[in-house]
Amino acid sequence: MIPVTKPYLPDRNKLDKYIDGIYQREWLTNNGPLVQELTHRLEGYLGVKNLLLVGNGTLALQVAYRALGISGVCDREITEAITTPFSFVATTSSLKWEGIEPRFVDIDRKSWCLDPLAIEQAITDRTKGIVPVHVFGNACDVDSIDEIANKHNLPVIYDAAHAFGVIYQGKSLLTYGDAATLSFHATKLFHSIEGGGVIFRRKEDFDKAKEIINFGISSSGNIERTGINAKMSEFQAAMGLSVLDDIDLILEKRREIWEAYHFVLRDCYVTQVPSLGEVQNYSYFPVVLNSEKEVEIVVKRLHEKGVMARRYFFPPLNSLPYVDDTSNVSNAADISRRIICLPVYHGLSKDMVADIAKIVRRDMV
C-alpha cells in the first residue's frame, strides 16, 4: 500500500545518541536541554524569534488564542474569530474548544487562502481575532490581512501547520501575524512524532504563553494565571533534532517528487496559484479535477491499485455538526468537492510517482 504520507524516520544511531543523553541526565520534560537546543536551532533555521515549543499543533493554536486574549471560555458574550472553511478540522475544533465561535468566510479561488475582502465584510463587534491558514504552505495575502487587522485592532493568528520553511517576500512566512503556529505531527515535512510550536511577534506574548503551557506558573514560581500542561518532552525533541539534521535532504526529495508529478500531469490539472515571491516547501501535491464525479472515479481507481490518495479538505469545515454558520463559501465548497492530494513522502520512488500520475491522468473523464 502507498499511503498519502508517511513519517520520515532518521538514522537510528543518530536518534540513539540524543536518547543516550536523556538517559544520562534523567531529565525528561520541563524545558529540558534538548527542547532548548531544538528551540535554538529551529529559530536559526527558520529565521524567527520568540519560538515556543509545545506538545502538538492543536495546543499551539489554543495557547496562541489564550496568549493573545481571544479565548471566549470565560466570556459571557459571544466571542467570534474569522477563519477559513478550507483547512484541517483542528483549525475549527481548537476555536470551539476555547469558546470561540468560528465565523467562516470564503477563500480566494486562486490561492485557496482567505479572501481579504470577505474578511473585512464579516467583521462585527463580536469579532475578537482573525485565524487565516497558509493552505498547503501557500502564503495568505498577509499585507492586506495585516492592514485590515490594524484598522480594526484585531490580533492575527496564522495556522501555519503547512508552512514550515516557506519563505515569502525574502523572509520566513512565519514572521507574519501576531502569532503563527506550527504542527510537528509525524506526517509533516518536519516532525517530532507529536509536537508543535508558536512564533510570537512580541516578546511579552511569548512570555505569557510560556507560563500558560506550564500550569500558569511564572519564572518566580508563583501561579500568575490559568494554565495547562502543553510542554514538549525531551523524547519528542530528540526526534525533532534528528529530523532537523536531515531537513535539507527531506526538502530536496519532496521537491523531486513534486516535479515528477508535475511533469506527467502538467497539461491536465489545476492547482493553487503560488503567491508571488514565495519559496515553497513542496509538502503537498493537491490536484483539482473537473468534477466530484471525476474525483470519485480517480480515488476509487487509485485505491484499487493500493494508492491512498486523500480528499483534502473535504467536506468544508462550515458543514461540521458542531458549528452553526450559514455563510456563503461557494469557492471553498466547490474546490473541496473536486480536490485530491496525491502521496508525497520521503521514501516514495520516482517510478511510484510516475505510476500514480499515469493512473490519475488516464482516469480523468
Angle of the 33-46 helix axis to the 234-245 helix axis, nearest 10: 40
Same domain, 169 and 229: yes
Asked whether residue 82 is domain-assigned, the answer is yes
Total number of domains in the chain:
2
The per-residue pLDDT for 212 is 98
Is 188 annotated as catalytic? yes
Same domain, 25 and 133: yes
Residue at a domain's end among 188, 216, 244: 244
Same domain, 165 and 62: yes
The per-residue pLDDT for 343 is 97
- pLDDT string in tens for the chain (365-residue length): 999 999 999 999 999 999 999 999 999 999 999 999 999 999 999 999 999 999 999 999 999 999 999 987 766 678 999 999 999 999 999 999 999 999 999 999 999 999 999 999 999 999 999 999 999 999 999 999 999 999 999 999 999 999 999 999 999 999 999 999 999 999 999 999 999 999 999 999 999 999 999 999 998 889 989 999 999 999 999 999 999 999 999 999 999 999 999 999 988 888 999 999 999 999 999 999 999 999 999 999 999 999 999 999 999 999 999 998 888 999 999 999 999 999 999 999 999 999 999 999 875 54
Domain harbouring 51, CATH code: 3.40.640.10
Asked whether residue 1 is domain-assigned, the answer is no
Q: How far apart, in whole angstroms, are the C-alpha atoms of residue 60 and residue 180?
A: 9
Same domain, 142 and 204: yes
Asked whether residue 3 is domain-assigned, the answer is no
Asked whether residue 4 is domain-assigned, the answer is no
Q: Is the dihedral of CA 164, 201, 170, 270 positive or negative?
A: positive
Residue at a domain's end among 221, 244, 267: 244
Domain harbouring 263, CATH code: 3.90.1150.10
Same domain, 334 and 185: no
Q: How far apart, in whole angstroms, are the C-alpha atoms of residue 209 and residue 203?
A: 10
User: In which residue are the cell numbers 463587534 written?
Assistant: 125
Q: What grid cell was written down for 39?
A: 528551540
- Which of 6, 14, 17, 188 is flagged as catalytic? 188
Same domain, 252 and 238: no
The domain of 174 spans 12-244
Give 285's strand partners.
342
> SS3 for 55?
coil
The per-residue pLDDT for 74 is 61
Residue at a domain's end among 190, 218, 244: 244
E strand segments, the chain: 51-54, 79-83, 100-104, 127-131, 157-159, 167-168, 171-172, 179-183, 196-200, 278-279, 285-288, 339-342
**pTM for this predicted structure:** 0.96
